[in-house]
Structure formats: structure tokens, C-alpha cells
Amino acid sequence: MMTTDRRPGARSAARQTLNKVPEITIYFWIIKILCTTVGETAADFLNGKLNLGLTSTTYVMGVLLIIALFFQFRARKYEPGIYWLAVVLISVVGTLITDNLTDNLGVSLETTTLAFAVALAATFAAWYASERTLSIHTIYTTRREAFYWLAILFTFALGTAAGDLVAESLDLGYALSAVGFGVLIAVVAVARFGLKLNAVLAFWIAYILTRPLGASIGDYLSQSRDDGGLGLGTIVTSALFLVTILALVIYLAFTRRDATPAAREHETAGALRS
């Protein structure tokens, strides 16, 4: 369904009226946390086990992300496979950006955390100034989708930097770090549903916090027992979570449980016409 907006420049800014991102359901948060775990373990695997190095790994994953986003932007509606592939890849790239700054360039975690927080705030400011909304329920124009994915990238980079900073500063260990970030997410949920915290603000805070939560879970599973982990290794952990993500995405692709009501109505109408 094409937009009927006739304002100058509207056609270049808006290509379709169906939301390009999923509904926020329990499936969304489960897959999001799984993706952040893969972002941590896959980056470690590619960098360490395959000896690609941070720079080469970043280039390879960056190219794959660009390809995934190309197909995501071309899609006319939310497609689970394309969308979640982009999230997996952007989680890896976001991790690698922070790792490059801290490990290769020697930028402190305090500086990277502050820099990405400012970058994310600037993205939200530009997004709101342009669209007058930060709602993820209206990602149906190219411009809004561009702001959305830029914000997603900065949340992963910020979550990586902030999570590493907290882990190094407090030295809690992987398990306790995961519990701590889980508690913070629970606090956000209580504030949202019990204290009526703004839905958009609650979403983005939780989205940022799921990054260090997933990373802590990934490190706990993959790192050696001597380092406080379970010793599954990055290969097993990455494979386990990728298979789980794939299973959930296939389920959602067939059931459309996380599609918006408008998308389901559109698909039903199309099926009836055919």
C-alpha cells in the first residue's frame, strides 16, 4: 500500500505505510537478548579463534551488515528473517566498534561510554526534530527507518562500553553482572507498568540494558571455569544461540505472532484477493 502524502519530498521520505519493525512482544525481548549474546560471542570467535583480528573482522561484518540493511530497507513490510538478521549483524558490529576504540586505539571505557551516550542522544534529538516522534510503532518511512537503525547501532555500542565499564569497575563476575542488569530491566518494567513511565523512554532504556545483559550471559556460558564461566566456548555458545534465534524467527515467520495488526490485516486482505 503506497502512501498518499503529496507534500514535496514526501515520496522520498516515505515508501510504505506498513511498520517495518515487529510488535514489542515477549518474543521480541527473547530474540533481542539472544542476539546480544551472539554479538558478544561471535565477535570473540571471529577475532580470536579465526585470528581475523579486530580490524578485519569489523570490515567483514560491516559489509554483511550493509547487505542485510539493503534488503531490510527494500522490504515493504516487517520480514522476520531479514529484520533479525540485521539485528544479529548490527549487534556484532556495535561490539566491534567499541572493541576497536578501546583495544586498538586505546580509548578509555569512560570516554567511549560518554561518546556513545552523546551520539545516541544526538540521534534521538535529530529523529524527534525531523519526525516529532521516537515511537517504534510508526517506522514506515525510509527516514524514520534510517534513524531507527542508527539508534540501534549506538545502543549496541553504548551497551558494550557501559557493560564493560561496570564489569571492570565493580568486578562482579559474569553471573552477578547478568543478574544485576536483569534487575535493572525489571525496575524499568515496573516503572513502565506500575508508575506509568513513558513507553518510548522505557523501551529505549530496556533496549540499551539488554546489551550488557546478553553479553554477561554470553561470557558466563563461553568463558573458562577459571575465569568464572561455564567453559562452553564461543563456538558452542554462538551456535546454541543462533539455532535458538533461527527457530524462533521461523516460528514467527509462519505464525506472524509479532506482526502489527495492520500488517496482519494487509496480509489477510491480500490472501483473500488472491
Q: What is the pLDDT of residues 143-166, one digit of tens each?
A: 999 999 999 999 999 988 888 888
d(CA 158, CA 215) in angstroms, rounded, equals 12
Choice among 122-126, 177-181, 182-186 with the minimum mean pLDDT:
177-181
Radius of gyration of the chain (CA): 19
> In the structure grid, which three cell numbers stand for residue 48, read together?
580470536
Choice among 57-61, 117-121, 257-261 with the minimum mean pLDDT:
257-261
- Judge whether residue 273 has pLDDT over 60: no
pLDDT confidence bin for 7, thresholds 50/70/90: very low
Q: How many residues does the chain have?
A: 274
Report yes or no on whether pTM surpasses 0.75: yes
Task: State the average pLDDT over residues 189-209.
Answer: 91
pLDDT confidence bin for 39, thresholds 50/70/90: confident
How does 131-168 read in b/e, with b if 16+ C-beta sit within 10 Å?
Answer: beebebeebbbbbbbbbbbbbbbbbbbbbbbbbbbbbe
Amino acid in position 218: G
Count Cβ atoms within 10 A of the Cβ of residue 78 and give its class: 0-12 exposed, 13-18 middle, 19 or more buried: buried
d(CA 257, CA 51) in angstroms, rounded, equals 40
Count Cβ atoms within 10 A of the Cβ of residue 247 and give its class: 0-12 exposed, 13-18 middle, 19 or more buried: exposed
DSSP state of 257: T
196 sits in the region (left: phi over 0; alpha: psi -120 to 50; else beta) called left
pLDDT score of 267: 60
Dihedral over Cα of 232, 233, 239, 244: its sign: positive
Count Cβ atoms within 10 A of the Cβ of residue 44 and give its class: 0-12 exposed, 13-18 middle, 19 or more buried: buried
In angstroms, the Cα distances linking 162 to 5, 17, 52, 93, 127 are 41, 36, 25, 16, 23
- Judge whether residue 51 has pLDDT over 80: no
Q: How many CA atoms lie within 13 A of 63 on its CB side?
A: 5
List CB contacts of 32: < 8 A, sequence separation 6 or more: 87, 207, 210, 214
In three-state form (DSSP H/G/I as H, E/B as E, the rest C), the secondary structure along 11-51 is: HHHCCCCCCCCCCCCHHHHHHHHHHHHHHHHHHHHHHHHCC
